[in-house]
Amino acid sequence: AIRMTQSPSSFSASTGDRVTITCRASQDVSSYFAWYQQKPGKAPKLLIYAASSLQSGVPSRFSGSGSGTNFTLTISCLQSEDFATYYCQQYYTYPRTFGQGTKVEIK
């Protein structure tokens, strides 16, 4: 199975900050890559697919980049509603695999 490794596992940030989360795949997944946001007690929400395409309804402050094995999620100006846990996922092959998650907390 393809292993997805996110970094960092957690960090604190302030509203208005620019934040970056990275994810590395253990093998090439091309652009079959997605980012999700999950808030406590809620189902995950798709933010980015195909590595850099913004899902409908997702604010433009979210962006994704990368291909192959290295990917990045950037939030250009952190808002209060963005404090959550973020997961990366490859859908290049089965089994689908997720990263371990990155928790973004309020500083």
Partner 1 sequence: EVQLLESGGGLVQPGGSLRLSCTASGFTFSSYAMSWVRQAPGKGLEWVSAARDSGSTTYYGDSVKGRFIISRDNSENTLYLQMNSLRAEDTALYYCAKDRSGSSGPFDFWGQGTLVTVSS
Distance of CA 38 to the CA centre of its chain: 10
* Residue 26 DSSP label: S
Q: Which is nearer to partner 1, 17 or 68 (CB)?
A: 68
In whole angstroms, give the CA distance from residue 87 to residue 48: 11
DSSP state of 11: E
Does position 71 interact with partner 1 (CB under 8 A)? The reply is no
Name the minimum Å distance from CB 46 to partner 1.
Answer: 5
Residue 97 binds partner 1, judged by CB under 8 A = yes
Applying CB under 8 A, which part among 19-27, 63-71, 75-83, 85-93 lies near partner 1? 85-93
3 in Cβ contact with 26 (< 8 Å) = yes
| Closest approach of partner 1 to the CB of residue 74, in Å | 18
Of positions 7, 91, 105, 106, contacts partner 1 by CB under 8 A: 91
Torsions phi, psi for 81 (to 5 deg):
-80, -5
The answer to whether the CB of 48 falls within 8 A of the CB of 32 is no
- Judged by CB under 8 A, the residue of 55, 63, 72, 76 near partner 1 is 55
- Rounded Cα distance between 62 and 72, Å, is 11
Residues that bind partner 1 in the complex, under the rule CB under 8 A: 1, 32, 34, 36, 38, 43-46, 49, 55, 87, 89, 91, 94-101
